[in-house]
């Protein structure tokens, strides 16, 4: 997205018919609390491109870990933790033993079976058209013992680890923090992460991307690469445009500063691919919401691009209306591409989806 136009993303409603460069811009005022759907959220700063969440201390063997909680499969547990109630998470371990780990929780601290390695250097170099990239490598990778989805009692909880160790914490090159972490305060128990921007049901929404089962996706999303999640298949689709003129992987690769490490200084200017979430934890699709998304990649056919029909897609109605102009990668039929992403929703911008 055109970073110079970033501040207009949260401008007026007419933006839905504009290019994503105008859509992906920030409001001058904070979001109303009623727009925040993750209850335990401390603050959402659209102008800064960040969200601040409660930071919890846990363990993974002898290692100190720091994590957030965003979703629970159990309604009572979700209320107690201040998370989104996502009943579909109850099935996250079906057919994928590595996707879910049993965990203990003592005094509010989760003991994880494993932790990510945040020490690798994340790299991204755009290709000639942005996407596919010329080079991409995730800045964090997990072994078989780690998954963000842990079973505690009768609940499956989404608890992504965002930092390891006892500090000091690197929030510029991210050698011991996830690549979206731009501030961390263990004394105040807060962590601030760079937001991702997208759409759901024709409306603008904000979320975070914490894990991906594909290395390239993890590099693009500044997420932890967790290969064990691949077998789960996801629950609901998230539509990702590959080659839109004003939206998608190619556009964000060229204009979204993907080669830069996220920091508090540049979070407001980092681009998003403006993905389309098929469900949302409010409204008519709430019962079908899950933070674990099955990725579908949409590609505009060459004729559509040449005729400037590659509009910004914001929901299923628009996607259906342009079905004849869309295909899967390499001309294949549109459908899941074989990997998943963990993207908990934070808020909506103006109208609820």
Q: What is the mean pLDDT of residues 221-246?
A: 89
Q: How many domains does the chain have?
A: 1
Residue 305 pLDDT more than 90?
yes
**Does 353 reside within a domain?**
no
Residue corresponding to tokens 């993303």: 9
**Does 117 reside within a domain?**
yes
**Global confidence as pTM:** 0.91
**Does 186 reside within a domain?**
yes
**Does 20 reside within a domain?**
yes
Give pLDDT tens digits for 96-145: 888 999 999 999 999 999 999 999 999 999 999 999 999 999 999 999 99
Residues 286 and 88: beta-carbon distance below 8 Å: no
Query: Which band of pLDDT confidence, cut at 50, 70 and 90, is reported for residue 95?
Result: confident
Q: Which residue has the higher pLDDT, 9 or 85?
A: 85
Name the residue among 4, 19, 27, 94 with its Cα closest to residue 244: 19
User: Which domain range does residue 20 map to?
Assistant: 3-348
C-alpha distances in angstroms, 283 versus 196, 287, 288, 314, 351?
Answer: 21, 9, 10, 17, 11
């Amino acid at each position: 997205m055109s970073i110079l136009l970033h501040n207009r993303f949260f401008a007026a409603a007419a933006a839905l018919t504009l290019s994503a460069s105008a859509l992906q811009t920030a409001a001058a005022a904070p979001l109303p609390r009623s727009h925040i759907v993750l209850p335990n959220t401390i603050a959402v700063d659209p102008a800064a491109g960040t969200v601040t969440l409660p930071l919890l201390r846990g363990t993974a063997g002898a290692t100190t870990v720091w994590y957030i909680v965003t979703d629970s499969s159990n309604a009572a547990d979700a209320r107690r933790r201040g998370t989104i109630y996502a009943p579909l998470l109850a099935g996250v371990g079906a057919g994928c033993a590595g996707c879910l780990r049993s965990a203990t929780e003592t005094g509010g601290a989760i003991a994880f079976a494993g932790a990510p390695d945040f020490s690798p250097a994340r790299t991204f170099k755009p290709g000639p058209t942005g996407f596919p990239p010329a080079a991409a490598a995730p800045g964090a990778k997990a072994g078989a013992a780690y998954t963000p989805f842990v079973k505690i009692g009768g609940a499956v909880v989404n608890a992504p680890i965002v930092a390891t160790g006892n500090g000091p914490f690197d929030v510029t090159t991210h050698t011991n923090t996830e690549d979206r972490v731009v501030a961390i305060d263990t004394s105040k128990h807060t962590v601030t992460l760079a937001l991702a921007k997208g759409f759901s049901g024709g409306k603008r929404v904000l979320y975070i991307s914490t894990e991906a089962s594909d290395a390239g996706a993890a590099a693009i999303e500044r997420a932890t690469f967790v290969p064990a999640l691949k077998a789960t298949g996801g629950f609901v689709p998230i539509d990702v445009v590959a080659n839109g003129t004003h939206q998608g992987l190619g556009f964000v690769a060229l204009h979204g500063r993907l080669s830069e490490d996220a920091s508090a200084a540049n979070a407001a200017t980092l681009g998003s691919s403006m993905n389309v979430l098929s469900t949302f934890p409010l409204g008519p699709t709430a019962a079908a919401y899950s933070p674990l998304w099955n990725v579908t990649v949409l590609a505009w056919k060459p004729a559509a691009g040449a005729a400037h029909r590659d509009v910004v897609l914001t929901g299923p109605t628009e996607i259906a209306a342009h079905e004849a102009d869309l295909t899967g990668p390499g001309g294949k039929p549109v459908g899941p591409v074989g990997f998943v992403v963990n993207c908990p929703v934070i808020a909506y911008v103006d109208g609820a989806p």
